[in-house]
Amino acid sequence: MGIRRALSVLFALVGALVAVVGLVVVVADKEVFDRPTVERTVDKILADPDVTRLLGREIVKRAVLLGDLEEQRKLVQTYVDERLAQPAVQKEIRSGVFDAYTELMDTDHPRIDFNLPNQAKQVRRQLVGLNPNLDATLPISENLLRFTLFERSSLPWAYELVSSTRSAAWGLFIGGAALVAIALFLGPGRLSIFTLAAAVATVAMLVVWLLFTTGANRVLDGIDDGLSRRVARLAADQFLRRITQISLAVTIFGAVVVVGGLVTLWVRAALFPSKPKITRVKGVPPVR
Q: In whole angstroms, how far apart are CA 277 and each of 42, 83, 207, 273?
A: 67, 86, 42, 12
Across 68-189, the runs of DSSP E, i.e. the strands, are: 111-115, 146-151
pLDDT of res. 155: 72
CA distance linking residue 125 with residue 199, whole number of Å: 64
Mean pLDDT by 10 residues, the chain (288 residues): 82 92 85 83 87 88 81 85 87 88 83 85 83 78 78 71 74 90 84 87 90 82 79 84 88 86 79 65 58
* Amino acid residing at 112: I
The candidate with the shortest Cα–Cα distance to 97, out of 13, 169, 40, is 40
| Burial class of residue 46 (count of CB atoms within 10 Å of its CB; 0-12, 13-18, 19+) | middle
pLDDT of res. 14: 93
* Domain chopping of the chain, boundaries: 3-32+166-264, 49-152
Task: Report whether the peptide linkage leading into residue 36 is cis, meaning its omega lies within 30 degrees of zero.
Answer: no
Task: State the SS3 of 191-235.
Answer: HHHHHHHHHHHHHHHHHHHHHHHHHHHHHHHCCCCHHHHHHHHHH
The candidate with the shortest Cα–Cα distance to 183, out of 2, 21, 10, is 10
Q: For the chain, what is the radius of gyration of the CA atoms? A: 29
Specify the pTM: 0.70
pLDDT of res. 151: 77
